[in-house]
Every structure is written in structure tokens, then in C-alpha cells.
Amino acid sequence: MSSSSDHLDPALFEQYLELIHSRTGVLIADSSSSQSRIQMLANRLAKPIARAGVRDFRSYLIKIQACSAGDVVWKEFIHAITTHKTNFFREPHHFACLREFIRQKAARAPRSSFEIWSAGCSTGEEPYSIAFTALPEIRSPLHILATDLDATVLETASKAVYRMEVGLGRENLQRYFLRGTGSNASAIRVKDEFRAPVRFETFNLIDRAYPHKQRFDAIFCRNVLIYFGRSTREHVIGQLVSSLAPDGLLFLGNAESLAGHPNFESVAPTVYRYRKLSRSLFKPALAEALPL
Ligand SMILES: C[S@@+](CC[C@H](N)C(=O)[O-])C[C@H]1O[C@@H](n2cnc3c(N)ncnc32)[C@H](O)[C@@H]1O
């Protein structure tokens, strides 16, 4: 290709948006002008197009339309179009809230295990922050399921290797990480005890059925719903409701809200406790629009 945007005309761009929406639920934001959205997508696709060995945006679209979820070309496409910004202890009050919740449950039921799901976990900072918070509090088994649509970020997450400059103080670095040596002196790796409870899996939140059999005590689904359209958000929230244990907590991102949702009561900013409703109330309530 002579230039990354030469052949991404508006009609072709719309076809990309349709494919991205139908396979991932993601709506490419439309707050900016059409031209800058086209340019943004063209820039993001330049590298995967070059790696796929095709000539132009049209050939690439044809190629990815034929891909299945396990294909390398598809994985590179998904990595290019998704946003992965994350941090350790992002929204610190969520982790204070999780700690208190765990203490209370451990006092009530000291032998029962804790099941926590980080849905849309990106490069792993979120599930490891959950492990750092939860593990010192409990004596019973802790299981953290960490999922993402993007297999590339999960490879990074499961290596658990980060740069020293992750924004944590010296005490936390020493408590949670091992320091690299020699040529790896600027790298840190999460200690094995905090890696052990975390299991990574590729999972697309827009799938019709969720395969996980267990009910989760807490679900973190932060800064993911914000990329979806309304009906996708409703579907995902409905599935998360079915995945939560009664009185379980749902943590959302700071631009996401479930205010007024009949199944949830707010317990802290963007933290909601699941309340099971009787069947007759449940269906009409879910059919209502979600006030995101
Ligand atoms: C901005 S990151 C949020 C990471 C973390 N939850 C946090 O708040 O720090 C959004 C993540 O959602 C993932 N994602 C986007 N669409 C998804 C989908 N349909 N199913 C599962 N994950 C998805 C992206 O790959 C990305 O890693």
C-alpha cells in the first residue's frame, strides 16, 4: 500500500464498522469527525495489513471476513482494533471495597472458596490487583478467572512481566513482584503466589451463552461496556446477572453506571450488589433500558 488510508473510503469504512460491531460488539466512537475516525482505523490497521501480506483495505476485509476466532490474522486484527488501557489498582476505592467484602464473607463463611471474574482483563493488571488484595485476606481457596477477547493481551498477562515504572510505590513493588537481574533489571514479575489463583481464558462477552458454571462472588467488568452499543450492553449485563452469586458485587468503570437497575443496589461509586428478584419481577425489569 502506498499510504495507510489511500483506499479506506467511507463505504469500505462502514463495512469494517459493521464487521467489528457484529463480531465484537464494539462501536467505534462517533464523537469525532468521520474523516478522523476513518484515519484512526486506517492507522490501527496499517500494521496488521502489512503482516497479513495483502495489498489494500478491500483485500484485507475479505480476508478477515473469512477468518475464524483462532486464526492468527484474526487475532492481529482484534488486537489492532481494541483499546487496552489499564493499570494496577485502577480505581483504588474498588480494591478497598473488595477487601471489605472479602473480610465480611470470610468472617461469615470461613471455609467457602472465593470466585472472582475479571471480564475484559487486558494485559493482566486488573486480575493481579485482585489477587494482591484478596489473597492476604483469606485462608480458603481463591479462584480468579481473567478473560478477554484479545488473545494477544492474554499472552502478555500470563507472562506477568511488567516494567518497573508501573506506578506502584517501593513497598508494593517488594510485596508483589520479583525484580529482574542483569539485562532484565528494569523488569518486574508478579510473585508466583499471586499468579497461582489467576486463570486466563479467551472469551468474547457478546457470545450468546456463557460457559462458566460457577457463580461469582465478584465480577469486574470495567471499561468494557463503554465500547458497546445499547443492545450489546443489555445482553452482557443480563449474562453477568446470571453469573453472579446472590449478594455478589459487580464493579464497573468510572464512566459506566447501573443506577436504577432493579437487580442492583449501589454500595459505592460504580460498585453494585446483586439482589435476586422474584421471577415475575425479573423479566420486565431486564427488558427495560439500561441507563448507561
Ligand atoms: C480498556 S480495557 C479495560 C481493562 C480493565 N478492565 C481495566 O478497566 O483496567 C478493555 C478491554 O476489553 C476487551 N474487550 C473489548 N471487547 C470485548 C468483548 N466483546 N469481549 C471481551 N473483551 C472485550 C479489550 O480487548 C480490552 O482488553
Shared domain check, 103 and 67: no
Whether 44 is a known active-site residue: answer: yes
Indicate which CATH number applies to the domain containing 49: 1.10.155.10
Number of domains in the chain: 2
CA nearest ligand 1 atom 7, residue = 86
The ligand 1 atom at the shortest distance from the C-alpha of residue 90 is 9
Which residue ranges have their beta carbon within 6 Å of ligand 1?
A: 24-26, 82-86, 90, 120-122, 126, 148-150, 153, 204-206, 222-224, 227, 253
Indicate which CATH number applies to the domain containing 155: 3.40.50.150
Whether 273 is a known active-site residue: answer: no
Shared domain check, 188 and 49: no
Shared domain check, 123 and 233: yes
Distance CA(220)–CA(113), nearest Å, equals 18
Give, for all 292 residues of the chain, the pLDDT tens digit: 544 445 789 999 999 999 999 999 999 866 567 888 899 999 999 999 999 999 899 999 999 999 998 899 999 999 999 999 999 999 999 999 999 999 999 999 988 999 999 999 999 999 999 999 999 999 999 999 999 999 999 999 999 999 998 889 999 999 999 999 998 989 999 999 999 999 999 999 999 989 988 899 999 999 999 999 999 999 999 999 999 999 999 999 999 999 888 889 999 999 999 987 654 443 433 333 333 3
Q: What is the residue-wise DSSP string for 137-202? A: G-SS-EEEEEEES-HHHHHHHHHTEEES-SS--HHHHHHHEEEP-GGGTTEEEE-HHHHTTEEEEE
Cα torsion 211, 217, 84, 270: sign: positive
**Structural domain that includes position 165:** 92-289
Angle made by CA atoms 106, 130, 27, in degrees to the nearest 5: 130
The pLDDT of residue 79 is: 97
In a domain, 86, yes or no: no
Using most ligand atoms within 8 A of CB, pick from 22, 147, 148 the residue to mutate for ligand 1. 148
Cβ-based neighbours of 283, under 8 Å, separated by 6 or more = none
pTM: 0.92
User: Using alpha carbons only, how large is the chain's radius of gyration in Å?
Assistant: 21
